Each structure stands twice: as structure tokens, then as C-alpha cells.
Structure 1
Amino acid sequence: MFLSLRIFNLKRHLKDKRVAIIGAADSVFDEKNGDYIDSFDVVIRINKSALVWNKENADYLGSKFTYLFHSFYENNYSGGGPINFKEFKKLGIQNLVHPNSDSKGLKAHLNFYKRHLKLKKTYILSPRLYKKITKELGCFQPTVGFSAIYSALNTDCKELYLTGFTFFKSPYLPGYRDDLRDTISNKRHIEKQGIHDPDVEFEVFKNLVQNSGNKRIILDSRLRKLIT
């Protein structure tokens, strides 16, 4: 891990770039925006997105992968999903990023290397940025998707497009976590975990967007309705 782990300099990677972040909510299937997504310089996807993507849904999801933000938990319970470097490379994923850089995140990273025993370069967010994110949420740990959004909103990217995020107010897209597609079941699952609070994340997100000086923040129709 000490030979492979690096800090991901998001500000450098996203500066003056058009960036799209694709979440796992079913709202990604509201419109066929695949070509639009692929037109962005950088496309960030979350957790199991590489596993559920296929050519049949590319009209909606696009086919471009630049960075994958991942929890580094590969079990079904956490929702991260298996990490397969060979498949990730085929999809064009350049960097695998674990946003959580506190002690829990480093432990998850260490366990990842124990499982795989491979010298593979992986990334975490800077401790300073991660502390900034967690300070906004109080005692709750950010979800991987929220970490990606918050991080991008704190860069000088030229444009930011967000789709597939409803802060758990709608089901996951089909095939992503079918055991939790029912919103009530998913809410109970989140409460049982006790580490995330999507409602707090949503309020922080709204404030970030409404107070942002970046006028080129584009939200899909479902997310736009949620914050108005």
C-alpha cells in the first residue's frame, strides 16, 4: 500500500475541464443523454457503475469512464462492488479513487491490498479536503457520490454536469443494487448502517449549488426539480 497509494490532486485534474459525474439513481434513465455525457472532458463514475454498464444502456449512461470513485469495500452489503483492474482498463478508467482518507479509509485501503496482493497505483483525496467534507456533515461519513460532487464543486472546473443523483429519494437504477431498489428498504438499510445521512448531504449540496460562483453547474431534470 505504501508503495502504491497516492493523493489524488483533483484541482489539477479538473482545472478548466468540462466534468460530468454520473450517479446510480434511476433518474439517469429519464433522458437519453449518453452522447452528451461522452462529450465531457472528464467523466467520473461511482462504485458499481463499471459493473452494471453495458452497450444496451449507453444511450442513457454514455460510455466514457475517466475516474472511478470507489468505497474500496468489495462486499455486497457496502455497495462498493468488486474491483477488477483488467475490466476497468478495458472501460478506460484512468484512476481508481477512494475519497475517505481518515483512519477508516486507510484501513479499508490496507484490507484491499491484503486481498489483492498487487502493486497497483490507487488514490485517496487529500486529508485536508476530506476533513472539509466531513466538517460539513457533522458526525456523518460522506457517501462516495457526495464526496465526488463536493470535491468537484471545490475545483476550478469549467463546467459540471450531474445526473443520477437524487440523494436516495428515488430507487437505484436497475441492476445496481436490486436488493435495495425499494426506497423504504434502502432507507432502513442506511439507518441500520448509521454512518451516512442523505438528508444532511442534500442540504449541504443545495447550499453549495445555490452559493456557487460557478454558473455552469448543470443538473439533470430530476435533480433540478428537487432543489427548487
Structure 2
Amino acid sequence: MSGSELDLIGGVPFLDARFAPRRLMAAVVAVRQSHAARAGLPSPADPSHLLIPEHACAVRFDASEVPSLPLSQDEDKGVSDALGRLEEAMPMWTPLLWSLPVRYARIASGTSLSASSFWWPQHILLGAETLASELEMREHVLHEHCHQWLYLVEELWDIDLPGAPTFTLPSGTSGRSPREVIGAAHVAAALVRMYNAVGEEQQIGPLKQYGWGCIQLLESPQVARYLTPVGAQITQRIKEEL
């Protein structure tokens, strides 16, 4: 990635040891200040307050709230416990797990295991099945943190082109933009690292197969044409990791 935009932030979150989370967050604060000024919104006295989820949503012009319910005290503790287990397995991820303010909530309806959205920044929603399982919590808390950090990268640089069509993931999930395919591959690569660290090798083969399926889709002519240079750089880095 020599000479790439990603060098400015040290690479790809959860994949590169030199990734600089505070540098990325500072750049995102500057972008959000610009958005707030253009919209005529008051800027907080402390610019870092733009990293508070409520402020992040307020300066997102196309913000779209995801319906959710508050977590119970026990569920909130379950999130903290999952973060602690991830930190124990991957100490180098500590800043990625704790430094970005995130609001956790329960998915209001449906059977999804977890969810988040670029258009409702710094909110992570967890499904009932996930909240009831320590193993699911560990995986899906990591899954959604991967998305949150990649969303921050997307606030600096587009990773796919406006108007790109949607595609079907290797899992069969349809209607996914190229950047969502990148996000799926990124999650797979991070989970492979985590499961390697905790010695749960049975999980690694299916994740690698899924990740490679995403990479093959991203490198196909019908998708690659819609990736920006930064999108292509991230794809290449994930490919190297897988």
C-alpha cells in the first residue's frame, strides 16, 4: 500500500498493527466540523464531542435512525464482557474496541443477529439470539466494530462509486453495494485473526471460504469497475490477510 491514502491512517483497522485509530478519529472530527458548518449547525466547544454518537448522527445529512430498544442492565454487561474477551484474545485491538464511543441497543424486530448502518453512525444493534450467547456476542460485537471503523474510513474517502448497482454475497444475501461487499470481506478477515488467536480452528475454514468469495466478487469486472482507488486498496489488503 506504499503511497496510498490508507498510509495516512496506517492501513486497515483490525488488520494492520500500524493502524492509527486516533489519527482517523481526528480526521473524521474535522470532516464533521465542516459538515456542521455547511449545515449551519452549532459546533460543540470541544470538537471531539462530534465523536459522541448523538452528535455524529446530527451532522449526517442523510441520517436514518435504525429502530431499536434499550439493552437491559444484564445485556449491557454482556457487551462489556464480550469486549473484554476480545481484548484478552487480541490486546492490540484495545483502542479499536474501547476508544470510539458507541451506543449499543437491541434490534427492535426480526431475527437478525446484529446490525449497524453507515447512515446511523456509531450505533450497534444486537439481536435476541446474539444477546443470549457468549460466543455469538464475541463474534457479533467484533463484526459490528469492524463496520464502525470502516464507516469512519468512508467518511474520509468513498470506497465505491455513486450509483453502483447491488450484488449478492457468497452467503446468498442480495442487494449489497460494492462497499458492503468490502465490509463483509473485512469482517471475515478480522474474525479469522480472532479465531486463530483463540485456537478455534473449526471456524477458520468457512470464514476464509466466505472471505475469498467476497474477494472474487470484488475483483470481478462487474464489481471492480465500481470501486474507487481506496476501495481497491482495502480489497487488496483484505486479500493479503486472507
Q: For the superposition of Structure 1 and Structure 2, which TM-score range results when normalised by the shorter chain?
A: 0.3 to 0.5
TM-score (norm 2): 0.34
Query: If each structure's helix is expressed as a fraction of its own residues, which one has the higher value?
Result: 2
Q: Flag the structure with higher strand content.
A: 1
Q: Computing the radius of gyration over CA atoms, which structure comes out larger, 1 or 2?
A: 2
TM-score (norm 1): 0.35
